[in-house]
């Protein structure tokens, strides 16, 4: 295990239904990393002296495995005409709250399903479940991001309806989720006014990858030192054509523009 | 942050390749990491030995070549080095630049010792 960060592999990820205890639905198909990474490989350490060495060219992209799986997910979404959005933010910026406000507004327009990613607990999935939409929780254990394999497994459990919106809430973390394509149509990064308007410059990879940025908690602007215009400008420097929404999930201010954008995306498929 | 899971996927890939080649062990893994790949070579070096434990890559030497990041201006064609995925052209101030190197993250080669 890595001492600097503690992240492990996705073999430890557990897919759960809301309220379900841990330990269920371990599903390792298509992946050879079993519990605790015991590779079950005989390995002897007798070092002979005259070993012949041979160099083998690979030229293989390290993220290839993830990227291939992400493309499979993307194909699944395309075939079922599903719009998948990957929601990313620091812990606590308001991803789940935003979904709680957004989903009821979609009723009667299009179906929504949700995949929740957290290291532990089904708390977020329980909050979404209370809205009456299909949801599964991916617990990544020590892992600090969702990857394409976890989504692949979660999709089998969730079986989202054709023509629906799929919201994937990533683990609260602005660093590595940027590297892992899940097969989504777009990345939506959420930032809140309590975080500092230089966030886009501190985490350029994330903002560079993002298609949409939601500045949340603008109800708190009078109480914090945060310049929304500066923040937006910083984000634009890193991602020139990012879609931008200022809103407060709490008061509902600015939500209309976001909901209208979402409806347009769903209509345009 | 993520270097452990990255190290595990590198180990998976080189271990699989080495098995295909009938290797007894892997003595060396050559990686290419661009400065804009979002990967810290130092963290990766730190995580790799643990990730390789119990595989053919256990004890393998990790050789990392870092690639400088270079961008080209879409407006005036100026080539310059960057340290950030986005930048302004130092010649004409245009923001229409594209990164031409520095985003690579590749396993270049492995060196194996033949199995018995
Ligand atoms: N004042 C204010 N608080 C908000 C707003 N939106 C969310 N919050 C609060 O912020 C806290 C975190 O919100 P969550 O929705 O759980 O955040 P999250 O991004 O899902 O968090 P993680 O899943 O843990 O990463 C909660 O206490 C929310 O009530 C807002 O617009 N204004
Ligand atoms: Mg949440
Ligand atoms: Zn991670
Ligand atoms: Zn790590
Ligand atoms: Zn220029």
ipTM, interface predicted TM-score of the complex: 0.88
Q: Specify the DSSP class assigned to residue B1.
A: -
Residue of higher predicted confidence among A1 and A154: A154
Calculate how far, in angstroms, residue A268's C-alpha sits from the geometric centre of ligand 3. Answer: 33
A123 close to A16: Cβ distance less than 8 angstroms: no
φ/ψ bin of B102: left (φ > 0), alpha (ψ from -120 to 50), beta (otherwise)? left
What distance in Å separates residue B91's CA from the closest CA in chain A? 17
What percent of chain A has a predicted confidence (pLDDT) above 70?
A: 84
What percent of chain B has a predicted confidence (pLDDT) above 70?
A: 98
pLDDT at A115 over 50: yes
Residues at the binding site of B are: 2, 73, 76, 89, 92
Estimate the share of chain B in helix, then strand, then coil, as percent rounded to the nearest 5.
Answer: 25, 35, 40
Q: How confident is the model at residue A96 (pLDDT cuts 50, 70, 90)?
A: very high
Contacts of B76 (CB under 8 A, 6+ apart): B89, B91, B92, B94
Q: Of the candidates A233, A22, A208, A252, which has an alpha carbon nearest to the alpha carbon of residue A123?
A: A22
Mean pLDDT of A118-132: 96
pLDDT in tens, A20-74: 665 433 333 334 333 334 444 455 555 555 668 999 999 999 998 899 999 999 9
| Atom in ligand 1 nearest the alpha carbon of residue A190 | 19
Contacts of A19 (CB under 8 A, 6+ apart): A122, A126, A129
Measured distance CA(A260)–CA(A161) in Å, rounded: 22
A15 close to A143: Cβ distance less than 8 angstroms: no
CB-CB under 8 Å, A178 with B106 = no
Among positive and negative, which fits the CA dihedral A188, A190, A196, A202?
Answer: negative
CATH of the domain at B91: 3.30.2320.80
Q: How confident is the model at residue A239 (pLDDT cuts 50, 70, 90)?
A: confident
How many residues are listed for chain B in this entry?
116
Chain B nearest-CA residue for A59: B108
A48-52, A179-183, A186-190, A213-217, range with the lowest pLDDT: A48-52
pLDDT at A76 over 50: yes
Report CA A4 to chain centroid distance, whole Å: 22
Calculate how far, in angstroms, residue A93's C-alpha sits from the geometric centre of ligand 1. Answer: 5
Question: Hey, is the C-beta of A61 within 8 angstroms of any chain B C-beta?
Answer: yes
Going from the C-alpha of A99 to that of each of A23, A181, A250, the distances in angstroms are 27, 21, 12
Chain A environment of B14 (Cβ under 8 Å) = 58
- pTM of the predicted model, to two decimals? 0.82
Name the residue range of residue B34's domain. 3-114
Quick one: pLDDT at residue A113? 98
Measured distance CA(A146)–CA(A238) in Å, rounded: 23
A10-14, A106-110, A152-156, A171-175, range with the lowest pLDDT: A10-14
**Number of domain units in chain B:** 1
Measured distance CA(A81)–CA(A156) in Å, rounded: 16
């Amino acid at each position: 295990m890595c001492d600097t960060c503690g992240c492990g592999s996705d073999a430890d990820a557990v897919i759960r239904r809301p309220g379900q205890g841990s330990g269920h639905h371990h599903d390792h198909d298509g992946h050879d990393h079993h519990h605790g990474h015991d590779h079950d490989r005989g390995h002897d350490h007798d070092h002979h002296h005259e070993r012949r060495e041979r160099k083998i060219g690979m030229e293989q992209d390290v993220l290839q495995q993830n990227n291939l799986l992400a493309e499979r997910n993307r194909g699944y979404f395309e075939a079922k005409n599903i719009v998948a959005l990957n929601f990313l933010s620091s812990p606590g910026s308001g991803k789940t709250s935003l979904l709680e406000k957004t989903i009821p507004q979609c009723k009667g327009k299009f179906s929504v399903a949700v995949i929740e990613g957290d290291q532990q607990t089904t708390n977020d999935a329980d909050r979404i479940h209370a809205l009456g939409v299909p949801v599964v929780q991916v617990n990544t254990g020590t892992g600090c991001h969702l990857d394409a394999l976890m989504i692949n497994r979660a999709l089998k459990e969730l079986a989202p309806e054709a023509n629906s919106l799929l919201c994937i809430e990533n683990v609260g973390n602005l660093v590595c989720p940027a590297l892992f394509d899940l097969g989504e149509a777009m990345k939506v990064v959420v930032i809140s006014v309590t975080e500092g308007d230089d966030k886009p410059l501190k985490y350029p990879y994330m903002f560079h990858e993002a298609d949409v940025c939601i500045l949340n908690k603008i109800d708190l602007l009078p109480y914090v030192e945060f310049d929304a215009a500066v923040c937006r400008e910083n984000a634009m420097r890193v991602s020139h054509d990012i879609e931008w929404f200022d809103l407060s999930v709490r008061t509902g201010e600015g939500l209309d523009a976001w909901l209208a954008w979402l409806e347009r995306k769903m209509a345009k498929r | 942050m993520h270097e452990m899971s990255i190290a595990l996927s590198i180990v998976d890939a080189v271990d699989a390749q080495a098995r295909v080649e009938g290797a007894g062990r892997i003595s060396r893994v050559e990686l290419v990491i661009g400065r804009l790949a979002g990967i810290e070579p130092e963290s990766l070096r730190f995580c790799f030995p643990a990730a390789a434990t119990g595989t053919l890559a256990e004890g393998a030497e990790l050789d990392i070549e870092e690639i400088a990041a270079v961008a080209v201006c879409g407006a005036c064609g100026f080539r310059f080095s960057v340290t950030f995925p986005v930048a302004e052209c130092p010649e004409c101030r245009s923001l229409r630049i594209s990164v031409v190197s520095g985003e690579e993250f590749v396993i270049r080669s492995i060196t194996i010792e033949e199995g018995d």
